[in-house]
Amino acid sequence: MARSDATVAVALPRPLLSRRARELATGYLYLVPVAVCLGGTIVFPILKAMHMSLYNHVLFKPQEYGFVGLGNYARLLRDETFWLTLWNSFVWVFGSVALQFVGGFAAALLLHQSFRGRAFVRTVTLLPWIVPGVVVALVWEWLYQPNYGVINDVLLRLGWLRDRVAWLSDPGLAMPAVIATNVWRGVPFFAIMLLAGLQAIHDDLYEAARVDGASVTERFRHITLPLLRPIIIVATATRVIWTFNYADLIFVMTSGGPANATQITSTYTLVTAYTNLDFGYAATLSVVLLVIMLVFTVLYLRVTRGIESAT
């Protein structure tokens, strides 16, 4: 009798992980490079700053290096300059962003109209945003220069000024002057963002509203504003955070002076770190800045979400 070569089925060993778990693990493996990058560039520096804020770490006093717990935070509460810079930051951020928004919105509405040379005007509008911040600061510092600056010269020639004004040297004028510069720089950002939003709104909506007899103001209130709201929220939140952390302009134009009149918390942090070389205290300031911005973002998103759902 012929033997038949029967194949006996052998059960494969049970895999260590279930199929679902393996799929999940593969997905996470793909995310590892990004997680490592984000962890290394964002999470680690934040944790390191928090760690540093608990130490007395003045670079030129290595013998005094040591753990101080919340000592730096207690020092911050007593630091008059810190509270002054916090108030200055508030004025700087909300003054800048509010005016940038108004200017940017006006520019976006204008650029949304069709007119001859619109492409050229759009490009020119973007210029202040393209120029590096330090260059903007140097140019405006020169424009404001009281003795030979262009602004004083023009105003004197027009007869609008009798004496030269020290725009950046007068504590009462220095903050408005740097805010004006920041507004000039930031208007294009809002203009472009809002223009993109305006272009996404269908003309049919305006057409229908027009047929129903809605006025220009009503169309703006009931169509333009609600449909632009998501962009306005994102753009404003982003700009507030940027402006709060933006130190270049003030640092170059006034170095926080005169007499701390333009010292905002981010420039104060910079001075504490790189002039005083007090890295422990500078880290404390950075952590507080981070917390303030986190609180602002959460509150802002919550409030705007509330408005959105109400409308």
Which parts of this chain interact with another protein (CB under 8 A)?
59-62, 145-148, 163-166, 168-171, 254-260, 263, 271-272, 274-277
Q: Output the CA–CA distances (angstroms, integers) from residue 100 to 71, 225, 253, in the order listed.
A: 39, 17, 19
Under a CB-based contact definition with an 8 Å cutoff, are residues 58 and 276 in contact?
yes
Min separation Cβ 20 and another protein, Å: 49
Which residue's CB is nearer to another protein, number 63 or number 113? 63
Shortest approach of another protein to residue 91 CB, angstroms?
Answer: 17
Question: Parallel, antiparallel, or unpaired for β 66-67 and 55-56?
Answer: antiparallel
Judged by beta carbon, residue 194 or residue 271, the one nearer another protein is: 271
Cα–Cα distance list, 15 to 4, 8, 10, 22, 47 (Å): 32, 21, 15, 10, 39
Closest contact distance (angstroms) between CB of 60 and another protein is 5
Residue 178 neighbours by CB under 8 Å, 6+ apart: 92, 168, 249, 250, 253, 254, 262
Q: How far is the CB of 131 from another protein (least distance, A)?
A: 21
236 vs 272, which CB is nearer to another protein?
272
Return the number of the residue (166 or 191) whose C-beta is nearest another protein. 166
Closer Cβ to another protein, 100 or 267, answer by number: 267
C-alpha closest to that of 285 among 238, 257, 249, 245: 245
Task: Provide the sign of the torsion angle of the four alpha carbons 130, 135, 137, 138, taken in this order.
Answer: negative
* Minimum distance, C-beta of residue 148 to another protein, in the bound complex (Å): 6
Measured from the CB atom, the residue of 174 and 191 that comes closer to another protein is 174
Q: What is the CA radius of gyration of the chain?
A: 28
CB 81 within 8 A of CB 268: yes
Beta carbons of 286 and 199 less than 8 angstroms apart: no
**Encoded tokens for 44:** 């680690």
DSSP 8-class letter at 58: B
- Show the tokens assigned to 52: 């540093």
Shortest gap between Cβ of 181 and another protein (angstroms)? 15
Residue 122's H or E segment, with its range, is: helix 118-130
Nearer to another protein, 46 or 277 (CB): 277
Rounded least distance, CB 143 to another protein, Å:
13
The minimum distance between CB 107 and another protein, in angstroms, equals: 31
Q: Tell me which residue of 285, 275, 190 sits closest to 237, measured CA to CA.
A: 190
Nearer to another protein, 135 or 301 (CB): 135
